[in-house]
Amino acid sequence: MSTIRPATHDDRDEWLRMRKALWPDCPDTDHAVEMAECLKRKHFTAFVVERDGGGLGGFVEVAERPITEDNEPGPIAHVEGWYVDPDLRRCGWGRKLIQAAEDWARAQGYSEIRSDTEIENAVSQQAHRALGFEETNRAVFYRKRLS
């Protein structure tokens, strides 16, 4: 039976594979820096789904943030990334990963956990609501390049 456990250095290749699936535009060097930060486990950590036959099938990363995205005072626990491989979706692994993140947040003394997703990602929004998250804010960001 697959299990949820803290990520380790030995998970690097599989964890990187899943991070690239979640954030395909992020350079590998940025992934490596963020994964190293997670492994320090003070204010940023990761949990993984370990498959029965070896390899990983999902992860969640959770970190402390000094304030919320809508400028409420913190610090707060924030889900920075949450991914489950397609063949394990809708089997409860996403819920178990969030539970691990919540347990970590409680152990750190946080009274709530927050998360975010892209505005067009209806599947993620539905998953968040199903796990008891409530929407707090919506935003559309703009950029204008100056010549």
Q: Tell me what pLDDT residue 30 has.
A: 95
The answer to whether residues 138 and 119 touch, using CB atoms and an 8 Å cutoff, is yes
Section 26-51 average pLDDT: 91
Residue 146 lies in a domain: no
Question: Using CA atoms, how far apart are residues 51 and 96, in angstroms rounded to an integer?
Answer: 14
Q: What is the domain extent for residue 57?
A: 3-130
pLDDT at residue 11, rounded to an integer: 95
Q: Residue 69 maps to which CATH number?
A: 3.40.630.30
Q: What are phi and psi of 63, to 5 degrees?
A: -140, 160
Would you place residue 47 in the very low, low, confident or very high pLDDT band (cuts 50, 70, 90)? Answer: very high
Please check the confidence at residue 91 and state whether its pLDDT lies above 90.
Answer: yes
Q: Is residue 52 part of a domain?
A: yes
pLDDT at 139: 80
For 2-27, the pLDDT digits (tens) are 899 999 999 999 999 999 999 999 99
Please provide the DSSP assignment of the chain as one string: --EEEE--GGGHHHHHHHHHHH-TTS-HHHHHHHHHHHHT-SSEEEEEEEPTTSSEEEEEEEEEEEE-TT--EEEEEEEEEEEE-GGGTTTTHHHHHHHHHHHHHHHTT-S-EE----TT-HHHHHHHHHTT---------------
Tally of domains within the chain: 1
Q: Is there a domain that residue 140 lies in? A: no
Is position 137 within any domain?
no
Residue 71 within any structural domain of the chain: yes
pLDDT on residue 66: 78
* Model pTM score: 0.88
